[in-house]
Chains A and B, each alone.
Chain A
């Protein structure tokens, strides 16, 4: 049985700079990293593989050629294969088109029983790729925003779904799409030597839309992105003067007067 984990390369939110005067995000100094939530999805799949080495875990990413780096990292972590879907259509595609391309690649792999994604991409993401894939794959069940995901005997996957801050125990039959929540448990990171090996000894397969038998002309058109806007800076900012005791008393009194406490 095969498990596909969809991973995305994003700009590290920690390294991008915000320019208020330009009302823009300055990406020049930004690093490209694996979308953090996707690490938990990979980790979950690799845990299944630890328990059952016959499982084949395949990392897949759609995007620019630079995304090869995160796929190498996935190989270093222990994935069996890594596939990069890349061509001019894919680089500009929006969710509806991406889901079609990813689903076509997953179908081409055959015997994929489980597709895992992060619960959302931290850049422009919205957590919709998983549900979209579920439809594109032919209406697979969807275990969404799940924690403690387990493969159950008899061809089921179970987990706790978080919905509106509550958790529900759910079990779905395979094949299934699972979107994985981040949890405090640290996901695995590769060792340096494994990363070097992934570059020296392993290869990332690159597939294009055409190779998947899709015609970009028939794929969905994107929404147009108009502009960026930065949140307004917060208004006031009063420094409360005085000795620590005076300032503390003043602060508490002010908070009470403003009905904040």
Chain B
């Protein structure tokens, strides 16, 4: 069977119940495709085994790049390329360059991190999302299980989901 096409979904209302249900489902040997919810559920990432995001590191690297570029730009422009006498002061000195350096550090760090987030999460204006249930953005949480990646048949998965207190259990097929 093809993967990423045929899913079994369990629908829940309570975020704490979702965490418990996910633990139980994984405990019974079923692989969860993903959990979808209208707001972040705390603790679900650990249950699903997601590692901490590396975005803070990305933000730091972009920030460091901003600092270096800003300093190079200012020292090169006013110190090397075209030195100007302004009020009889040094052509280039560090203290007056700090504000612009700080601002460019923050700017590159923020834009770099958000850009990375958009790319790795595949967020773009022309993307049509795959919605497992239209109520995900309203008040329901969904645990999606890819049938092709599990050896159990639908009825078995269904009975496990029923045990966890799912309100509804549906099949969802994407063409």
Partners in one complex: no
Q: What is B's interface to A at a CB cutoff of 8 Å?
A: none
Q: What is A's interface to B at a CB cutoff of 8 Å?
A: none
